Amino acid sequence: MNILILGSGGREHAFAWKLSQSSKCNNLYIAPGNAGTSPFGTNINISPTDFPSVKTIVLQHQITMVVVGPEDPLVKGIHDFFLADEELKHIPVIGPQKDGAQLEGSKDFSKQFMFRHKIPTAQYQTFTKETLAEGLLFLETLSPPYVLKADGLAAGKGVIIPTTLSDARQELSEMLANAKFGNASAKVVIEEFLQGIELSVFVLTDGNSYKILPAAKDYKRIGENDMGLNTGGMGAISPVPFADEAFIKKVEDRVIIPTINGLKQEGIVYKGFIFIGLMNVNGEPQVIEYNVRMGDPETEVVIPRIKSDLLDLFIGVGNGTLNEKTFEVDSRFATTVMLVSGGYPEEYEKGKVITGLDKVEGSIAFHAGTAALQSANSQTQTITNGGRVIAITSYGDTMDEALTKSFANAERINYEGKYYRKDIGKDLKKYFS
Ligand code: AMP
Ligand code: GLY
């Protein structure tokens, strides 16, 4: 098969790494990809939301499957675009159509969906500019902290958790009246704050049957001990020690099955990943959010733990035979530590030369934000090209063993301004003692 992966991050590098291991994979293309994806296939410099260019590439390279990494093209309807085109409609797209993508594209839609299907989630109400006054009154009925969510996609920045009522009132006004997140905050979901420990569970579905992929824990804040600004994710661990079989069974019964059945009942044909962000509240799962794609950097620990042929699983997603596919998981731990640019998640510089990639030993360096640069003497250098630069993934029989390798290799790679969290996994150590 000829596969096109859309996206340019560590997630897409992990997909390319895994799909290229399949005997069914002939040619791999990544659009736009990064310096890490090029050894596995051909990078093509187009935007995943430029659908006409995606079509040109697909026809030019006789692509037989499209794997969509990020949410943007899904929410904008790339799968629908394929289905509506005579020349493309037979090509399987891994990722939901626009209707299913609303699970991520609209927080209000996803909360309503969860309530319709009795999926455990925080109590909430949704407000618009017209109902701002009611929203301000609603805040007074809650106790701090307050959870305010822009309804639409806001590049991962749309959730604000003020700790005082006056900050919450001000934020709500800015989101609704001053369009703080543009159209994304035309509606705002205010919800009850859930106290617990977070984890993510991933599901791959063909719309009928599903496979539960390994769970992972992400580290979202820039600073150690979960301090500072939110990022795309600074590291990840899989498996999650507090998500034992009994907990995952609760997630399956209370969240996964009602979600798959709910989509079917509503006539939504869903083929792709469902990323379920969960809060473990005293052993009981509550859904924080759905995403309609894999997480990044969670993919960099989840995919390496899948022993089965991922392309064969994707074929099952495409033609509705996922139930016939075997699915095996590596019992080892996988950890990833994200190296980021100095200043991230605020302003940062790109174009810093990365050294030491050839010194990495016993880990996989998944590139998140890198580019290849031809220097004057026609040697290729790898340079930084994003806030998150490289995710260093390692396996281990214990979490500590895997982390030791990731941290050792984090020291071997260098570029100006390199930063990473040295406490990834630290909060989980208590579960092993
Ligand atoms: P989201 O973009 O929906 O993942 O939200 C970003 C982060 O906000 C989550 O990863 C949680 O840490 C936090 N969060 C979201 N909703 C809640 C909630 N209801 N209670 C507590 N924390 C929340
Ligand atoms: N790491 C969180 C996300 O991919 O949304």
What local confidence, expressed as pLDDT, does residue 245 receive?
Answer: 94
Stated as kind and residue range, the H or E segment containing 210 is strand 210-212
Same domain, 211 and 291: yes
pLDDT of residue 183: 84
Residue 93 lies in a domain: yes
Amino acid type, 222: I
Q: Are residues 218 and 161 in the same domain?
A: no
154 C-alpha vs ligand 2 centroid, how far in Å? 13
Q: What is the CATH classification number for the domain harbouring 60? A: 3.40.50.20
103, part of any domain? no
Using the mean position of ligand 2's atoms as its centre, give its distance from the Cα of residue 291 in Å: 8
Cβ of residue 142 lying under 6 Å from some atom of ligand 1: no
Q: Are residues 93 and 23 in the same domain?
A: yes
Q: How far is the CA of 71 from the centre of ligand 2 (A)?
A: 11
Is there a domain that residue 110 lies in? no
CATH number at residue 175: 3.30.1490.20
- Residue nearest (by alpha carbon) to ligand 1 atom 4: 289
Nearest CA to ligand 1 atom 7: 159
Asked if residue 108 belongs to a domain, the reply is no
Ligand 2 centroid – CA 70 distance (Å): 10
The answer to the question of residue 266 being in a domain is: yes
Whose tokens are 């930063």? That residue is 419
Which atom of ligand 1 is found nearest the CA of 195? 21
Considering only CA atoms, which of 327, 400, 413 is closest in space to residue 364?
Answer: 413
SS (H, E, C) 126-154: EEEHHHHHHHHHHHHCCCCCCEEEECCCC
Cα dist from 114 to 127, 146, 248, 278, 293, whole Å: 18, 20, 18, 13, 18
pLDDT tens, position by position, for the chain (433 residues)? 999 999 999 999 999 999 999 999 999 999 999 999 999 999 999 999 999 999 999 999 999 999 999 999 999 999 999 999 999 999 999 999 999 999 999 999 999 999 999 999 999 999 998 988 899 999 999 999 999 998 998 877 788 899 999 999 999 988 888 888 888 888 889 999 999 999 999 999 999 999 999 999 999 999 999 999 889 999 999 999 999 999 999 999 999 999 999 999 999 999 999 999 999 999 999 999 999 999 999 999 999 999 999 999 999 999 999 999 999 999 999 999 999 999 999 999 999 999 999 999 999 999 999 999 987 777 889 999 999 999 999 999 999 999 999 999 999 999 999 999 999 999 999 998 7
**Residue 187 shares a structural domain with residue 294:** no
* 360 and 389 belong to one structural domain: yes
Kindly state whether residue 6 falls inside one of the protein's structural domains: yes
Contact assessment for residue 219 and residue 424, using Cβ atoms and an 8 Å cutoff: yes
For residues 246 and 158, membership in a common domain is answered with: no
Q: Tell the residue nearest (CA) to atom 5 of ligand 2.
A: 295
Q: What is the CATH number of the domain that holds 359?
A: 3.90.600.10
In a domain, residue 204? The reply is yes
Q: What's the 131 CA to ligand 2 centre distance in angstroms?
A: 31
Beta strands in 232-298, from DSSP E residues, in sequence order: 235-238, 272-281, 284-291
Please give the Cα distance from 175 to 146 (Å, whole number): 14
Closest by CA position to 3, among listed 88, 57, 67, 95: 67
Contact residues for 5 (Cβ-Cβ < 8 A; gap 6+): 12, 15, 16, 19, 28, 29, 30, 31, 33, 37, 41, 67, 69
For residue 323, give both structure tokens.
């139930």
291 lines ligand 2 (CB under 6 A): yes
Report the nearest atom of ligand 1 relative to the CA of 158.
2
Alpha helices in 63-193 (DSSP H): 71-75, 78-83, 98-105, 107-116, 132-140, 165-176
Domain count, the chain: 4
Residue 210 shares a structural domain with residue 186: no
CATH number at residue 308: 3.30.470.20
- Which residues form the domain of 10? 2-97
Judge if 318 and 337 occupy the same domain: no
